[in-house]
A and B are shown apart, each in its own frame.
Chain A
Amino acid sequence: MSILLKNGSLKGEKNVDILIENDKISKVAPGNSIKDDKAEVLDLTGLIVLPGLVDLHTHLREPGREDAETVATGSAAAARGGFTAVHAMANTLPVADTAGVVEQVWNLGKSIGLVDVYPVGAVTIGLKGENLAELSAMAESTARVRIFSDDGHCVSDPVLMRRALEYVKAFNGVIAQHAQEPRLTKNAQMNESELSGKLGLTGWPAVAEEAIVARDVLLTEHVQSKLHVCHASTAGTVEILRWAKGKKVNVTAEVTPHHLFLSQINCESYDAKFKVNPPLRTDDDINELRKALAEGIIDVVATDHAPHPMEDKEGEWSSAAFGMTGLETALSVVATAMIETKLMTWADVARVMSEKPAEIGQLTEHGRPIAENEIANLCIIDPNASWKVDAKDTHSLSTNNPFHDMTLKSKVIHTIFRGKFSMKSGQVQK
């Protein structure tokens, strides 16, 4: 079965025809030049073609919280969002801290076959922050884990963080830190600010993130390892990253779509769909994060897709769970925040949502140039679409979508995974 994609705009730069045969791109030529009578032909005039999106930070909840999401439903949501690869975080039940659990998730992803699911291994056993997990065993398993994270929790013990950074050098792994000093954020509910004081919600001060990021980049430099900063959310973190990269510390960082778009003012409604960790911050923070992403100080966008069942989100704020869904809206939010504002081009979006995440995840079949002989992992976007988000219109099991009722620009129309449509005209296949 072959597919001929005609006249799409490759990363927004020039129009090309792309012929896909089996799982590979077999030919790339100038727009409207390829003829193939046997192929399924799609006219992509006016649409953008990007390499399939790669998410470094997703919560698929399986095993353990299948009421919120499963690898199957999460994969479907990812396909709908234009993703061909996702990294599944380790805070499942049981925690993904052994080869056994990561292989289970890996196999589930493969059997569903809508996206490549790369499990992230926990740094510490049970995410308790006390003892290192068997990182090497997870690296050597069939899941070939290279990214390790206690996300949900911070590896706050400096000695443990140092050891983890050192240990993964043996297999070129990277520690992805959820930066949150636990004692400074006890019972924290929203960004610490004048607003948190006014609303009577315990504050989560920016310094609790920045202090850990600063410590970790220094440690990383000291032991000559690799660090990835999860969901950077403050202007102060951006400054530290800029300084660290200036000194050539091997650090990468991600930002979520919601931190590029939504500010703490949304908390005024006490609607817990805006409750997230790290919290929504100020307009200043949003502006600095956008500039940093455009500049490359922040390397990638990662969704931190965190599905929760309704009963964990509809009650009073302080007892609600932290997290927002994001796989299906990510590309549109980034386009609205960065392309509409002329801060980035589509080529930049390809960089931050596909090429660079694939590089950090050490993936060989994603984020590749759209060229002959590469595995066909692509996402096709209508850059002129304008659409209203409906939280209930989702493949995820959960509806905790903060963008509900908002109008976004750009939409993923098709996703091609390993040469086949995983999502076509908005419909997830099989």
Chain B
Amino acid sequence: MSANSRNSARVVLESSDISRALSRIAHEILENNKGSKDLVLLGIPSRGVPLANRIAQKINEFEKVNIPVGSLDITMYRDDLRLRPPRALAHTEIPEGGIDHKIVILVDDVLFSGRTIRAALDALNDIGRPAMVQVAVLIDRGHRELPIRADYVGKNIPTSLSESVQVSLADVDGNQETVIISAGEQ
């Protein structure tokens, strides 16, 4: 994401907004699944991972229970590998207990074309057989290219294709936590 077209950049979420959104998502997950039984959170690197950790933390605050959290790198399952030089792999960590018969909640920062989630579903398929797969994202910016939808959304932000969405999280990008939309190059 280009950082230099700040001319018409707007901040759509700030630190406190992000925190509130994650709390709401945590509540929704518990409500929807009638509790925390069999839940497994898998963050999609890189920003999905700290988000998954935070959601797990919030769930722990509310229900005093530790949900297994892990990460699922989907690089090897991308459908656009041949279009670019090979990408370095990120870390996959499936929690002990695996995913068989579990309710797996994939966590990512932005839902856009839906291809990342599709790749994640293929990856899960080679690892085991979840009872159910749900998707939680901080931002849904529209423009789906596949029939994929999120179950839990922090904020719906319609964008134009020429805009880019930049998520900054403390763990990955430094201190300032923001979501910024800027016009210009992707």
Chain A–chain B contact at Cβ < 8 A: no
